[in-house]
Structure 1
Amino acid sequence: MSQPLRAIARVEQLSKHYGSEQARVTALDAVTLSFAAGQFTAVMGPSGSGKSTLMHIAAGLDSASSGRAWIGSTEITGLGDDELTVLRRREVGFVFQSFNLVPTLDVRGNILLPFDLDGRTPTAAETAWIDELIARLGLRDRTAHRPHELSGGQKQRVAIARALATRPTLVFADEPTGALDSATSRDVLRLLQDASRDFGQSIAMVTHDPVAAAHADRVLFLADGRLVRDSGPASAAELSGIVLGLEDAS
């Protein structure tokens, strides 16, 4: 019998409300879930289901109205801005749809940015890891290029390398293929799969795209701010059917 996977981040009875009593909107409603170590998890659901809100709170980018959240063994609920900034810098990686590369830095400079922000130089082991990432991601001949000299797919590869460079506890990916064509999207999703399967990286990806979610080991479904389904790997057609059913029910 296989051992359960260790939780790398979790939320407990997490709720988020916006607006006043008369016009209150509930984005999350008592959600409890965990992200497992070394697992590629996709979070899906209809528009307005709470996917991005969940990610932002779990990553320490937003605060909850009630409930608790942990990254690793650290409870982030109630941490001050300075403590959260340091924790995110050291424990969390981010891959966004808009890439968020620094235009004045070349590829290597963008990948090294988390170390620069933390005020330190990579160790020899970390430098070897970064060099491996650059090679695996096909960026070896692009390290001196600036973002404006790269294609969309190359920019997203740089963003993935930057997110993995410090070996963070968890990488959050928010619609990482939304700005890419279908062929480049497949490449980027395979890279995220490789990061999980080959490097043991924990990844949580928010997406509306069933083709993207089909690359994940696990798919969580939100609807009306609640966790309504926790699924293993599934085909794009199966995932699309589930999301359509949630949309019809809302």
Structure 2
Amino acid sequence: MEITTTELGLAARVQGLTKTYGEGSTAVRALDGVSVGIRRGEFTAIMGPSGSGKSTLMHIMAGLDAATSGRAWIGDTEITGLSDLELTVLRRRRVGFVFQAFNLVPTLDALGNILLPFDLDGRRPSAIERARIDGLIDTLGLGARLGHRPHELSGGQQQRVAIARALATGPDLVFADEPTGNLDSRSGREVLALLATAARSAGQSIAMVTHDPVAASHADRVLHLADGRIVADKPRQTAEEISAFMLAAELGGVGVAADADAGVRS
């Protein structure tokens, strides 16, 4: 009998995941036998240099892309062989997304953008969901901005709307792709703190792809990828520790990076 993702304490997981682009001599292996889980109620940062496979891993875990081989689950639902329609419904109901470019609908006001997942699902929020949305609006300081359209909001405010939209349905898992990339440092810190709070107080599972050591330092766990493989899985680290590991990995490989990491910690 196979142990379920829930029994493992995970919100999502992949097993033996491989992703190859192209064929023959021009083939590029973006992921090479990756097995990893995203723990429930934890804020996980996924890091790595350009081309390491971090975005590909997130896209497959979120059901936005298909693996070449291997298996993937969201909760206890295996998504590996689902149809496009089944994946769309699953994502809409159980996964939230926060993007670097905010991805708000310009013709909708802030409240309309927050309620968009429910509109796409053809329903209105339940009383419990409405209470959650009201709490998010209050926590995110959006009460006075609900009637404003995206172009009337600052970058930080737009990202707050995007976070409220991502959390509105109470999804099992929220994927954040470079969520602070278009923000100033103060707004970025606020957004990261909000994501961390969502993981710790609301039990949401947050998986954030980032190249920024400062952003990753807000996470409970840091996964490092290189050449399509997970080369390190570390608990919370400072930005300095993360930077030292990344620099050493670039200069001399994983073994040197581990030594540098030990040196920073000692």
Within 5 Å, which residues of 2 pair with 1:23-38?
23-38=26-41
Pick from 216, 220, 233: which aligns with 2:219?
216
Residue 33 of structure 2 aligns with an amino acid whose one-letter code is: A
Q: Does 1:199 align with 2:197?
A: no
Q: 2:176 aligns with which of 170, 173, 178?
A: 173
Higher helix share: 2
Please name the residue that 1:100 is paired with: 103
1:229 aligned residue (226, 229, 232): 232
2:150 corresponds to which residue? 147
- TM-score normalized with structure 2 length: 0.91
The alignment partner of 1:173 has SS state of: strand
Query: How many Å separate the matches in 2 of 1:22 and 1:234?
Result: 39
- The question of 1:48 aligning with 2:51 is answered yes
> What is the rounded CA distance, in whole Å, between the counterparts of 1:87 and 1:5 in structure 2?
21
Q: Secondary structure of 2:91's match?
A: helix
**d(CA) in 1 for partners of 2:248 and 2:86?**
41
Q: Does residue 64 of the first structure (1) align with residue 67 of the second (2)?
A: yes
The structure 1 residue matched to 2:90, chosen from 87, 92, 100, is 87
Per mean C-alpha deviation after superposition, the further-off stretch among 237-246 and 146-155 is 237-246
Give the 5 Å matches for 1:106-185: 106-185=109-188
Query: Structure 1 runs of 4+ off > 2 angstroms?
Result: none
Match of residue 263 from structure 2? none
Q: Take 2:113 and 2:45, find their aligned partners in 1: how far apart are those partners?
A: 26
C-alpha distance in structure 1 between counterparts of 2:34 and 2:249, whole Å: 17
Q: Which SS does the other structure have where 2:175 is aligned?
A: strand
* Alignment check: 8 A CA contact 1:58 1:70 kept: yes
Distance 1:5 1:71 in 2: 12
Q: Give the RMSD, CA atoms, in angstroms.
A: 1.0
- CA drift at 1:249: 3.5
> 1:114 touches 1:162 (CA, 8 Å); kept in 2?
yes
Instruction: Out of 192-201 and 64-73, give the one that drifted further.
Output: 192-201
The separation in 1 between residues aligned to 2:249 and 2:124, in whole angstroms, is 48
**Structure 1 runs not aligned, ≥5 long:** none
Distance 1:247 1:140 in 2: 45
- Cα deviation digits, residues 108-133 of structure 1 (max 9, x gap): 10000000000110011111110010
Aligned length: 247
* CA shift for structure 1 position 182: 0.7
Check conservation: 1:6, 1:36, Cα contact below 8 A: yes
Q: Is the 1:46–1:246 Cα contact (8 Å) retained in structure 2?
A: no
Q: Percent identity?
A: 68
Q: Pick the aligned partner of 2:19 from 16, 34, 44.
A: 16
Displacement of 1:5: 6.8
Q: CA deviation at 1:201?
A: 0.9
